[in-house]
Amino acid sequence: MVFISLLLLGATAMQGATVITGTIQVGREVTANLGSLTGPNIQPWGCVIVSNTNPAVRSGARGGECAKFEITNYSDNSFGAEYRFKELSTGKLMAHGGDWIWFNAEPGDETDRTLFVEEKYRGSSVMRPADSSTRVHADYENGDLNVKNGGEGFLMYYSIAKSD
């Protein structure tokens, strides 16, 4: 799995939003490398999917199971990019609610709960909801994305794989 740098997707806020289609690829740090001075050793873990049982956001799937998104880049600056993710099969926006990340926001919702901010952590991209100070984590067992108690599971490194 190839990770594509989010910096290549840039558009400044003054130029307007850039819209692309793609998937959200998820990586996790290899435990044996935690604390390395050379940065994280990120292992591909899968992609973000829509749960069949509820609108929770999950990761861990591969290939054709990956959710397809219309991804809107609202800015790309020294603090990181800001994105909104509209899942194409449901038409819903990815949103932060409570401890979890959901696909339950209506198109046009421009509140901070639907805005996700890229942060650089040890030189790699992670994200957090704009309305939270906690970075997104993925649960080890089921891949549910959360910001629970400071993040439960593993820190979700991510990249965008653009579709043609």
The more confident residue out of 109 and 15 is: 109
Q: Is residue 12 part of a domain?
A: yes
Q: How far apart are CA 56 and CA 69, in angstroms?
A: 15
Q: Is residue 98 part of a domain?
A: yes
The more confident residue out of 35 and 12 is: 35
Q: Is 67 helix (H, G, I), strand (E, B) or coil?
A: coil
Q: How far apart are CA 37 and CA 134, in angstroms?
A: 23
Q: How far apart are CA 86 and CA 95, in angstroms?
A: 10
User: How many domains, the chain?
Assistant: 1
The model's confidence at residue 108, banded by pLDDT at 50, 70 and 90, is: very high
Report the pLDDT value the prediction gives residue 101, as an integer from 0 to 100: 95
- The parent domain of residue 92 ranges over 6-162
Q: Is 144 helix (H, G, I), strand (E, B) or coil?
A: coil
Supply the CATH number for residue 113's domain. 2.80.10.50
Q: Is residue 39 part of a domain?
A: yes
Average of per-residue pLDDT values in the chain:
81
Inform me whether the pLDDT recorded for 78 exceeds 70: no
Q: Is residue 1 part of a domain?
A: no
